[in-house]
């Protein structure tokens, strides 16, 4: 992936992890539920997904957290 990004002219600050961030943000903005985002990015705990999205500036999860089904 790194070689592909470099061949496209992206600097070394962009990594595979950058795509994960972009995907999570895009899913959230598109209205995809937290459980699906959790599954797509590989978190075992929904709270990890919430922390992850909060670290990127999203902070409106309290009502969502109350309605997440337990597995």
Strand, coil or helix: 21: helix
Q: What averages of pLDDT result for each successive group of 10 residues across the chain (71 residues)?
A: 81 75 84 89 89 80 56 53
* pTM beyond 0.85, yes or no: no
15, 5 Cβ separation under 8 angstroms: yes
19, 2 Cβ separation under 8 angstroms: no
DSSP E strands in the chain: the ranges are none
* Angle 24-21-1 from CA coordinates, rounded to 5°: 120
């Amino acid at each position: 992936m790194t070689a592909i990004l470099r061949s496209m002219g992206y600097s070394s600050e962009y990594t595979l992890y950058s795509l994960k961030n972009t995907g999570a943000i895009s899913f959230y903005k598109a209205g995809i539920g937290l459980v699906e985002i959790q599954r797509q990015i590989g978190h075992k705990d929904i709270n990890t997904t919430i922390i992850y999205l909060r670290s990127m500036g999203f902070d409106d999860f309290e009502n969502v957290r109350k309605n997440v089904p337990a597995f």
